[in-house]
Amino acid sequence: MTETGATMTAYVHGAPVETPATIAGIRETLAEDRVEEFDREVAHTPALQLAQVLIRWALPQEAKDEQEELFAALERGDFSRFGDAPGTEAA
């Protein structure tokens, strides 16, 4: 996937998607107009939060969209996508 070779797996609608797993790998996948923002955020992120920030930047847009859909469902009180959650029992 990238020149650095290290990848991690994200899931989009249940299907595995390989994403870069290094700062350099993530950086090379970004649109040119986002690189400066990425560099600035990574440079100012506390070490204990760095993995979280890198994963957020590495996720494909489809995964971010899926997360937003799930959060929106939760906000509406729709727990149907969450298996054993209250209100999902079979009738």
Q: Which domain holds residue 41?
A: 7-75
C-alpha separations of 48 from 22, 34, 51, 78 in Å = 16, 23, 7, 33
Per-residue pLDDT of the chain (91 residues; tens, 9 = 90+): 445 589 999 888 888 989 999 999 999 999 999 999 999 999 999 999 999 999 999 988 888 888 888 889 899 998 887 776 555 455 4
Indicate the pTM of the whole model.
0.69
The answer as to whether 21 is a domain residue is: yes
Residue matched to tokens 């560099």: 39
What pLDDT is stored for residue 27 in this prediction?
Answer: 96
The answer as to whether 88 is a domain residue is: no
The answer as to whether 18 is a domain residue is: yes
What pLDDT is stored for residue 87 in this prediction?
Answer: 53
What pLDDT is stored for residue 3 in this prediction?
Answer: 55
What pLDDT is stored for residue 82 in this prediction?
Answer: 76
Asked if 30 and 20 count as a contact pair (C-beta separation under 8 A), the reply is no
Total domains in the chain come to: 1
